[in-house]
Structure formats: C-alpha cells, structure tokens
Chains A and B, each alone.
Chain A
Amino acid sequence: MVVKVAKVQKTNLLPVVEQSEEEKMTVKKYLRGEAADLGELQDKKLKGQLAVREDLYGKSAQAAAQAEKWLMPSEGGYLEVEGIEKTWRIKQDAIAAEVDILSSRKQFDIVLPDFGPYTLDFSLSGRYMIAAGKKGHMALLDMKNMDLIKEFQVRETVRDVVFLHNQKLFAAAQKKYVYMYSDNGTEMHCLKEHGAVTKLQFLNKHFLLTSINKFGQLHYQDITTGEMIGNYRTGLGRTDTMEVNPYNNVIGVGHSGGTVSMWKPTSAAPLVKMLCHQGPVTAMAFHSNGHLMATAGMERKIKLWDLRKFEVLQTLPGSTKAMQFSQRGLLAAATGSFVQVYGDLSGSQEYSRYMGHSIAKGYQIRKVQFRPYEDVLAIGHSKGWSSILIPGSGEPNFDTWVANPFETRKQRNEKEVRSLLDKLPPETIMLDPTKIGSVKPATKKEMPTKQDIEADKEAAVEGAKKTPLKKKTKGRSKPSKVTKKKQEAIMRAKKPFLEKQDEKVKKKRKRAEEENQLPKSLQRFARKAPAS
C-alpha cells in the first residue's frame, strides 16, 4: 500500500484569494478616499506610525467588504424582464400577482377627496408616516402595522409637514406660523419667527429645523434649545422648492429665476448659486452620495447635475412638480397624475426609464417620497395618497445604530439621548465635509507692497513716539537726555525696515555686478532672472 504524503505547504492563517473587480470596488468604497502619500515625509518616526495606520485602514476596509459580502441578512429587490418586455410597461397589478402577500399589502390607495392635496413625510426608519392635507387634515400612521396613531384637524392651511428626530415630534407649516406637535396631537410649540412657511426640512444630525417662507427668508432653528441660529434673506423672492443634500447637510433652494442656491447656517451669503433652468425651478432632488442633483424646470426639462464640477450630466424630458431620489439611486419624477421612475440600470451614470405608474386621471400629484429601507414609493396627490411597489429602490440592509425599523421604546429613548450627545454644531456644515481635521496647506504669503511696508514703518514710528518715558529724579530726566532717548527709540523702531532696505540694495548691487561681468556689447542681453 502506497501512502501518499501530501506536500505540506506553509499556509497562512487566512487563505489568499484573488480579488475580483467587484470586491476591489467594495473595498475602495470602504477606504473612504486615497491613502496618504508618505514619500515626502522626512520624520522617520512619524512615517513609521502613519504606515502602520494606513495598513490598519486597509485591513478594516477588507473586513468591512467581507462582512458586506457574507453577513448581510437581505438581498435587494429587483425587476428582471425577458425577451421584448420593457420594465417601464409593467403595471403594479402584474407585480402584485408575482409578489408575496405582505408586500402586496403595501400597494394601496387612500382616497380622501375633501381635504386637499396631501403632502407626506416618513420618519428616518421608514416605519412612521405623517400625511397632511392642505385643508388642515393631519394623520400619523404606523406603516408596519397599518395603524392610524393619531389624526386631527387644525382647520387652517397646512403647506408642509416634517418629522423631527423621531416619530414623537413633527412640525407643520400652517397658515401664519410653524407649529410643533407631539405624536398624540398635542400642540407643543408655536414658532412665530418663521412666518408663513412654504417648505420645511429637518437636519437630523444638527437638530436644525429649516424653513423657507413666502418672502424668501431662510430660517434655521435649533430645536433642542429653541435658539434661532440663522435668519437669512435669499434675495430671490418666493420659493416653493427646498431640499437637503444628505451628504453634507447643505440646503438647496430653487428660485423662480431658474437659479439654485445652496446655504449653510453660518453664513448670510449662499455657498453656491447656479443657473440651472430658463424658467422657474419646479422641483429638486439630491442623491444620497452628495454628487448628483436633479432639478426640474418649467421649460419641461429635468437636468442631472454633477455637484463636484457643477455641470450637467444628463437632460431628460418632463415637466415635474415633485422629485425624489431613493436610497439606491432611483429617481421618481411626478408630472400631473403620472409618476416616472428613472434608474441608472447600466451601471454608468446614465439614467433611463425604469418604471412608471399613473394614478386616476385628474388627480394632481403633490409629493413623491420613497419609503426608507423598503421598496415602496408613496405618492401624495389631490385626493389622498397612494403607495406603489418599486423593486430595487430601498436599501435592504439597515444598520441598527443608524435607523431601526423594528425599534422598541427603550431603543428609541437611548437613540434620542445618544444623538443629542453627538449633536453636531452648525459650523460643521460645509460643501466638503471631509475637510474637518485636515491640515490647511501652507499658502505662500504675498510679498507686501511698498505702500504696506511704508505704512508698517509709520505705525512703528508712531508707536515709538507715543510710549511715555519714565520720569527720573536727580537730574536724570533733563530735556536733552529725554529727547536723546526718544530719538534712540525711534531709530530702534525704524531699524528692521532699514535693514530690509539695505538687504534689497545689496542684492541689487550683487546682481549688477554679475551683469557687469559680461562684455559691454552683450550687457543688454543680460537677464534679471534666470532663464526658465
């Protein structure tokens, strides 16, 4: 019997596997930017420490990529068609037939014809929804159990409604003021400073309630302390469009002149003003990665902008009154009673038609909102609201510490305390949020002009003249001595400037000497600065 002894190879603890392109992309996503260039460092100790750090970053990115590949509990939704079928022709009934009962229950229409066009908002976890009709009807719903938690009438125009940090509090922009309500319908606060608000937004990490009112004034209010952080006039008139860029928490406002301006709470001037459309801007949406913005204008165009270069990536046709990006990057655009969902199906940033849905003719869509962590699109229209299924729009895997659709009361309270402890100051809002903690590169100081030097010299001399001299006794403060001391002080103040002038003169002389070395006929070709 021949016993074959296997060749024992020295195995690593972790088997070395060839990484596919996909895996490399996911690792890149987790690396959050490029590695630092350590070649220029001269400090060896620092270089060694940083090299160890970079190695650790690489390892953690690898571990996160592995976790994403193997440990995620759910896969995303998808819609695949065969043959000559097109995805945008598929109706909701067809989808309902193929999908399980629980999901088919997520398609519904709620008809409330009396109370005007409805606007809606979802809480961060996607479990709670608030719907508000323009004629004053407000309803708070638990979407998981399809429960109506509270419904009440305020008997006033309600223009917008938004959840605050959790489902316990929400703000409504009513006829004259903004009101804050708790989840059992109690009016908690009446915020008078905001005025007659047209659009409300809430910045979660900063606890800032942002509003834009009929006069085009932007208000930022910290709801933990009640302090009004910023109150700015946009200067461009009444606007109906205001959205938050989720990547850097910058507020984008679309104006009737076709411009979009971006604001942060600590400056009275906008960060960016860009001319987007030839008519008024009717709708805006920001992608969650912060680089992509979609704007719709009255001239029936939807433009997709790259926010890093501020240029148009794509133009789509459509006159849209409501737009939103989903967590997975699908864009829902609503015109009249028809919703068109666009997606970048090929992987490149080219958006094409993905799905469509038309609600009953005559209904005007006021708002489209994707439900977070679900493949559901909620549509608020003039006769109530509807909910349809859009496979592949929601993020399938939630993170318990970010947003938990299955939150218990204890977890909600803990989360509230934690987020208050981690509340960001309003100064952290900037166009590029990765700049925090980075080192500003040393800028070359400009050479001071002659006037500046003269001014400095004058100032120094003035200072020297003004300093009071101590009065000494026993004949030591005779007028002659005092004037002599004063002269000395003035000379001392002038000395550094004179030294610099001397240096300059010396340099000139040196250069002149160098020039003189050339024979006279060639001196006119002598260069003052070395040739490049």
Chain B
Amino acid sequence: MKVKVISRSTDEFTRERSQDLQRVFRNFDPTLRTQEKAVEYVRALNAAKLDKIFARPFVGAMDGHIDAVSAMAKNPANLKWLFSGSMDGDIRLWDLATRQAVCQFPGHQGAVRGLTASTDGRVLVSCGTDSTVRLWTVPLPSHAQDDSSDNEAKPLATYVWKSAFWGVDHQENGELFATAGAQVDIWNHNRSQPINTFEWGKDTAISVRFNPGEPNVLATSGSDRSITIYDLRLSSPARKIIMMTKTNSIAWNPMEPMNFTAANEDCNCYSYDVRKMNEARCVHRDHVSAVMDIDYSPTGREFVTGSYDRTVRIFQYNGGHSREIYHTKRMQRVFCVKFSNDGSYIISGSDDTNLRLWKAKASEQLGVLLPRERKNHEYLEAVKNRYKHLPEVKRIVRHRHLPKPIYKAASLRRIMTDAQRKKDERRRAHSAPGSIINKPLRKRRIIKEVE
C-alpha cells in the first residue's frame, strides 16, 4: 500500500528572516476563483470611478504676455522649453517645469504669426505681419540657469521681404525653412532672400507644415479653401484639393508619414492620406466652432486640437469623436496648441494672454512610478477597457462636464445635422432610385482634387 498525504512544513512556506519578503504561491486554477467576471466587473466600475476622482488635468498657467498668444513652437532638443509669440510681437521662451519665462526675444513690430525652431534647437525662426523673418540664437540650458529670468536676446539675423507672413515651419534635419504668405517661400538660414518660391493661384497661404517623416514634403493650406502638397525636389506643387471651408492648420502624423490631419473652419478635422486625396480617411467631429490649431502626439496615436469655442480636445488618430475635452472659465479662444515631445503634456495658448499646461491623460499619476504602481495602473486600465461597453461603466467613463454654451451649441448642431440627414433621405426616397447618390461625409466636403 502506498500512501501520501499533503503535509506542508512551515519552513518551506514562510520567510526565513524578517527582512525577507513574504512568500507568494500561485495556483491559476479557475475553480479556485469563482465568479471571476463579476469581480472584474466590480473592479472595472471602481477603476472608472477612481479615474474620475483623480482626473485633474490642469497643471498650471504661464502668464507674462500682454496680448493674445498667436504662435507656439516646441524645441526639439530640449523637452522642457517652449517658445511662444503674441500679437504684439513679444516672443518668450518658457521653462515648462518651473512655468517661468527664461528669455525674451523682443523685436517684432507687429503680430508674430509663426514660430519654429531648427532641429538642433539652437536657432529660432520667427515671422510676423511686419513682413520680416527673424532668426534668433537660443541660449544653452546651462547659461539660462546662470542668468536671471527675463533675459533679452539679440537677433541673429533679420530678413525683410515683400509681404506679411502667415506661418513658418522648419525642415526636419535640414537647413531650410518655409514661410507662408502671399506665396510659399523656401529659405536658407544664411541667405537673406528665399532660395525658392512656390505658387499656385493668387491666394495667400495661411499655414505651412513640413513632413517630419519625409523631410522634402510640405503641406500648406490656402485662403482659397485648399490644401496643397509640395515636394522640394520638384519645381512645381504636387497636389491640391479644394474643400468647402478653409483649413486653419495642418499636422503630419509623426509615425505614419503619409497621413496628415487638417483643422478646418467647419469645426471638423479631416485626416488625409497623401497618396489618395479624393476622400478623407477619417472625419473627426466634436468641436462646435472653428478649429484653430492641431498637433500630433509623438506616438502618432492621438492629436490635440484647439478651437475657437474655448476648448481643447484630444482625439484618437483613427477615431471620430474626442476622448477628452479640457476647458476653463478663464481660457478664452484657443489659438494654438502643442503636444509635448514626451507625449505627456499639452500646452494651449489662448486669447487671454496665458499659456496653459495640461496633462494628456487627465488622471495620470506624474513622477516616477514604482513597478507595482505601474502594474496596478496597467491592470486597472485593461480591466476598465474590457468592460467599458457595459452601461454602468460606460456612463462613468464617457461623462464629461461641458460648459453650457458648448453643450447647447453641440445639441443644436446635432439637431441640424439630423434634420439635414432626414431631408436627404426623404429626397432620395422620393426620387428615382439611383438618381441621388449617397456621398459619405469624407467625400462630401471636398469640392475637387487638382493635379
């Protein structure tokens, strides 16, 4: 007869010294854990509620400008620094960690319309309505710490040109930068005149953006409601589409070099694929007033938009609706937004002369997380995503407080679009089948594509 009985010796199952960690034994057998789904559901519900409790996205405001903030630029070489230019010509360099101004670059006579920094972060290019392009040397971080704040820097160069400028962008890893004005000009740092000029029609170009993935491709938007794609290697513009309303700003997806998103006057953002511009890839609809600025996160998975309706929204790169909305009573019309280069923060510059620093994930715990904390956060995120379609959890996860004017405006827009859709349906139902074609929204807003 062979017998064996379970007998556990205490030494094997408890710790040896009091400075050791307690021993943990795992058995993943499902019969030991009953009602797993109910437990996960309760955890998802609690996670959603905790998320809302810890959602404090506003970090701080940076004030110093005395007029509306009209342009912002990130410094590719330094995570903490941000340049901002205002409508009275004042350019400031901010340190986001301390939220203080490190340096000032006075000189512009009119509004600063465009700001951009070179890839090594040493040169700042600014352009304005006084038809000048100014280059500035950016101080080194060590120098900035030594000197007191509110330093004044001398410009490296000033180039005067024929007409007012509307925007500027620097090439990735290159020496060229492009300005948008009466036409699109390509400049070199050392030349006082543009080395190349692009023009298609007699309308002004409002904004310009170089493709970070394809350094020779740039996109501009014009006041003739068009979006034009240029290639520096060709002598003429590559492609152009004309939409129903004008595009205020364009941002390229840093992870997918063929896609860009355009922030339009008609409250929507349209994502396009450069290779196939006859229809938008995705329409992002949630704003209730014109979208003024747009910037992609370095992950390429989401982007932030600032709009004339005093809100900042974060969208997913392939989603139709925003996942987050930030608003404050004190923040007025948002003119520019930037996603910080580590993907954790959003900076918005608005009409009320302040720059505001927000968290990209409202309930994120900042600072260095212990591995257990991080694991716990990841688990809660995963369990919340698994059950976020259930009504109780969905109600909590989806809930955002909207200011009353925006809520009213949004419901009004919904009523109007529903009414329009019903009318179209009825028209189609009462006409010969096939005579009225149902055009999707992605195509509807594009008037034509021009080669």
Does A434 count as interface, using CB distance less than 8 angstroms?
A: yes
B34 touches A246 (CB 8 A): yes
Contacts of B1 in A (CB 8 A): 79-82, 85, 90, 94, 98
Q: How far is the CA of A421 from the CA of B43 in the complex (A)?
A: 8
Partner of A32, one of B8, B30, B34, B42: B30
Contacts of A80 in B (CB 8 A): 1-3
Q: How far is the CA of A94 from the CA of B22 in the complex (A)?
A: 38
Partner of B6, one of A289, A396, A406: A396
Q: How far is the CA of A437 from the CA of B388 in the complex (A)?
A: 10
Contacts of B39 in A (CB 8 A): 205, 422, 424
B38 touches A433 (CB 8 A): yes
Interface segment, B10-18, B62-70, B344-352? B10-18
A248 touches B25 (CB 8 A): no
Partner of B14, one of A74, A99, A406, A422: A406
How many A residues face the partner with a CB closer than 8 A? 65
A30 touches B3 (CB 8 A): no
B31 touches A288 (CB 8 A): yes
Among residues 1 to 51 in chain B, which have CB atoms less than 8 Å away from a CB atom of chain A?
1-10, 12-14, 22-43, 46
Contacts of A99 in B (CB 8 A): 3-5, 7
Does B390 count as interface, using CB distance less than 8 angstroms?
A: yes
Does A374 count as interface, using CB distance less than 8 angstroms?
A: yes
A389 touches B27 (CB 8 A): no
Contacts of A79 in B (CB 8 A): 1-3
Does B58 count as interface, using CB distance less than 8 angstroms?
A: no
Contacts of B41 in A (CB 8 A): 428, 436-437
Size band of the B side of the interface? 35 or more
Contacts of B22 in A (CB 8 A): 408, 411
Contacts of B34 in A (CB 8 A): 205, 246-249, 290, 433
A73 touches B25 (CB 8 A): yes
Q: In whole Å, how far is B319's beta carbon from the nearest beta carbon of chain A?
A: 11
A375 touches B46 (CB 8 A): no
Q: Indicate whether A375 sits within 8 Å of B5 (C-beta atoms), given known contacts A67-B26, A399-B32.
A: yes
Q: How far is the CA of A144 from the CA of B13 in the complex (A)?
A: 13
Contacts of B40 in A (CB 8 A): 437
Q: In whole Å, how far is A480's beta carbon from the nearest beta carbon of chain B?
A: 32
B10 touches A103 (CB 8 A): no
Contact with B along A23-57 (1 / 0, CB 8 A): 00000011010000000000000000000000000
Does B387 count as interface, using CB distance less than 8 angstroms?
A: yes
Which A-chain residue is minimally distant from B44 (CB atoms)?
A437
B5 touches A424 (CB 8 A): no
A76 touches B28 (CB 8 A): no
Contact with B along A390-402 (1 / 0, CB 8 A): 0100111111111
Between A103, A373, A399, A405, the greatest number of chain B beta carbons within 10 A of the residue's beta carbon is seen for A399
B10 touches A406 (CB 8 A): yes
Which B-chain residue is minimally distant from A65 (CB atoms)?
B28
Does A237 count as interface, using CB distance less than 8 angstroms?
A: no
Contacts of A436 in B (CB 8 A): 37-38, 41
Which A-chain residue is minimally distant from B38 (CB atoms)?
A428
Does A1 count as interface, using CB distance less than 8 angstroms?
A: no
Does A22 count as interface, using CB distance less than 8 angstroms?
A: no
Q: How far is the CA of A227 from the CA of B4 in the complex (A)?
A: 47
Q: Which 10 A-B pairs have the closest CB atoms?
A: A428-B38, A399-B27, A80-B2, A436-B37, A64-B28, A397-B27, A375-B5, A103-B5, A98-B3, A400-B24
